Amino acid sequence: MRYIAAPWREPYVRNVEQTKGCIFCRARRLKDDKRGYVLYRGAHSFILLNKFPYLPGHLMVAPYKHIASFEQSRKELSDEISDLLKMGLDILKKNYRPHGFNLGMNLGKSAGAGIADHFHFHLIPRWTGDSNFMPIVGRTRVVIEDLDTTYARLCPLFRKKTRKR
């Protein structure tokens, strides 16, 4: 069996310490959603692609406000985040057909948070046998997508949801 690592994570691993500012605040302010890989904007929170995904379709949901504390967030914010997570699950389930999901938060640096001051959820589709690497085995078809492809694929689906709301 041959393994290939997720090569798009390399610049992240190398540059994470040098990146200045908060990626969520920057994405929120960008006028161009495509540049920030923003898929959906709600009233209090938004959905964006992780620029350094472990697997294709790795989404993040974050509040517009730069806040660290989820437990102290207002109910309208946490309710909306829950709605956006459900929306993300629904769209990924139908279009990527993963075998499962990881859904959660890293709160605090010691818990593995890259950006600890601006809380955010990760939503990661999982396939049997992926385990952070993508096994390339004879008959197994592995979908490897770059970020622009994922964005182009998901963007219209979230747009449709925007119209329905």
Q: Is 25 in the site for Zn ion (CB under 5 A)?
A: yes
Q: Tell me which amino acid residue 117 is.
A: D
* Separation CA 48–CA 33 (nearest Å): 9
Q: Is 22 in the site for Zn ion (CB under 5 A)?
A: yes
Q: Kindly report the CA angle at 117 between 60 and 121, in degrees rounded to 5?
A: 20
x/- string (CB under 5 A) for Zn ion, residues 62-101? ----x-----------------------------------
Q: Least Å distance between CB 15 and Zn ion?
A: 18
* Separation CA 29–CA 66 (nearest Å): 12
* Separation CA 61–CA 39 (nearest Å): 10
Q: Is 24 in the site for Zn ion (CB under 5 A)?
A: yes
Q: Which helix (H) or strand (E) holds 102?
A: strand 100-104
By the 8 A CB rule, do 141 and 127 touch? no
Question: What is the pairing mode between strands 121-126 and 100-104?
Answer: antiparallel
Q: Is 120 in the site for Zn ion (CB under 5 A)?
A: no
Count of residues of this chain found to bind Zn ion when the rule CB under 5 A is applied = 5
- Is 120 designated active site? yes
Q: Least Å distance between CB 6 and Zn ion?
A: 25
Q: Least Å distance between CB 28 and Zn ion?
A: 7
Which residue, 9 or 65, is less far from Zn ion as judged by CB? 65
Which residue, 46 or 101, is less far from Zn ion as judged by CB? 46
* Site residues, Zn ion (CB under 5 A): 22, 24-25, 66, 118
* Catalytic positions: 120
